[in-house]
Structure 1
């Protein structure tokens, strides 16, 4: 039987805030991967499929092996999250979120430490970037499985296409009721802010610092919001 978190109809504010924080870390990871890993997406797999197609037809500046690595690692991370979520564990959602953040954040931190090692070498390590791509994409695949189980509308933390569609299609201009627009707008703003912060951090301090910061934010933020009293009664099925 599939084990998935049971989230009430009205999502508690601490969980919404946590997902918004994770959205910001997605922007940081995207900045790290696109700017620091030779135009590879590690949080959004649509981009990798498109770039892989460009590489397959010989377009310059695109490396098929990088995109395949990211896709496979992302799927492996998602499989790992699915396996762990089905283990016999305490029923509290807060416990599962902390476990998930430890795995995801740990992978990002290891990727950051390995990047630091690569940056310290006088000569680049052959194929070293593959490990960084795999760890980062694996972490984001793990994240996507966890967030998918939560089933919180408009807060996937990684993809904004449907969120932006909802902003437009449910707006007053489209004769909609404008419901949930503040959360949707906040999700867009957080990914934008995270991407901007990640780009600044990468340009000024390097890839390792960006990945280490992202991992630390995932772990620390989850612990803080998971300990909120409103999260205490949420259960996993």
Structure 2
């Protein structure tokens, strides 16, 4: 069974996913950086010109996300036999990229307008790609940290009112609530600060990196269950 520290760390990253998707959708041109399903749908809808949907943002987000997943795969191949170091390095790298983005936005080097918006989308998309690849290779069955379709399906279909197995409903419910809390927090804070929301996501991810760095080496991958 997964250790509580691992579950807590992954829920912290789930919260971060809600934060960055709030940023990208509300301030960066109605695009997602963690939820790639939404971007594919946007691309499909853009074929109908009457909807006036841009293809550039979703394409940039998808491309950056894929590059991030590639990086995540390479890190696993290089350090996967040292789980504690691999997970800590991957998540710390993601947190560093988020922090850099927050600093660039906060100092005005990058502004959420014009072409600079696409660069912010690319940076956030790459961060989310790295996160999803790493969590996917860690293989927690009900803590994907971003995609909720399967989580909601399992939560209801396996409940006592569905198939009756009722397996780990608290973890699945926690994932849904973490994304909701992240999006809600992001939406509220965006009324005050854009850089602050990205910085908060960096803090949440760095917290997870520290947890995995300090975790017992042989059991770091315990979140697989």
What's 2:35 paired with?
44
Asked if residue 148 in structure 1 is aligned to residue 136 in structure 2, the reply is: yes
Counterpart CA distance in 2 for 1:46 and 1:120 is 27
- 1:183-226 CA-partner distances (Å, limit 9, x unpaired): 11111111111111111111122x21111111122113320354
Give how far 1:120 is off. 8.1
Q: 2:100 aligns with which of 99, 110, 123?
A: 110
What's 2:83 paired with?
93
Asked if residue 190 in structure 1 is aligned to residue 175 in structure 2, the reply is: no
Ranges in structure 1 where 5+ consecutive residues have no aligned partner: 1-9
Is the CA contact 2:152–2:172 (under 8 Å) kept in the aligned structure 1?
yes
Counterpart CA distance in 1 for 2:139 and 2:46 is 35
In structure 2, do the counterparts of structure 1 residues 22 and 66 end up closer, same or farther at CA, with 3 Å as the change threshold? same
Is the CA contact 1:118–1:125 (under 8 Å) kept in the aligned structure 2?
no
What's 1:13 paired with?
4
Any idea what SS the aligned residue of 1:86 has? helix
Normalised TM-score (structure 1): 0.86
Give how far 1:125 is off. 6.5
Is the CA contact 2:17–2:34 (under 8 Å) kept in the aligned structure 1?
yes
After superposition, the CA RMSD in angstroms is 2.0
Counterpart CA distance in 2 for 1:175 and 1:158 is 25
Alignment coverage as a number of residue pairs? 221
- 1:133-187 CA-partner distances (Å, limit 9, x unpaired): 0000000001010000111111000001001001111011114121111111111
What's 1:5 paired with?
none
What's 1:68 paired with?
59
Q: 1:222 aligns with which of 209, 212, 218?
A: 209
Is the CA contact 2:110–2:120 (under 8 Å) kept in the aligned structure 1?
no
Any idea what SS the aligned residue of 1:106 has? helix
In structure 2, do the counterparts of structure 1 residues 154 and 125 end up closer, same or farther at CA, with 3 Å as the change threshold? closer
Counterpart CA distance in 1 for 2:52 and 2:204 is 32
Counterpart CA distance in 2 for 1:97 and 1:225 is 6
Asked if residue 234 in structure 1 is aligned to residue 219 in structure 2, the reply is: yes
Counterpart CA distance in 1 for 2:184 and 2:76 is 33
Any idea what SS the aligned residue of 2:192 has? helix
Ranges in structure 2 where 5+ consecutive residues have no aligned partner: none
Which residues of 2 match residues 171-182 of structure 1 at below 5 A? 171-182=159-170
Normalised TM-score (structure 2): 0.90
Any idea what SS the aligned residue of 1:17 has? helix
Is the CA contact 1:111–1:131 (under 8 Å) kept in the aligned structure 2?
no
Asked if residue 209 in structure 1 is aligned to residue 196 in structure 2, the reply is: yes
Any idea what SS the aligned residue of 1:204 has? coil
Counterpart CA distance in 2 for 1:81 and 1:151 is 13
Is the CA contact 1:14–1:226 (under 8 Å) kept in the aligned structure 2?
no
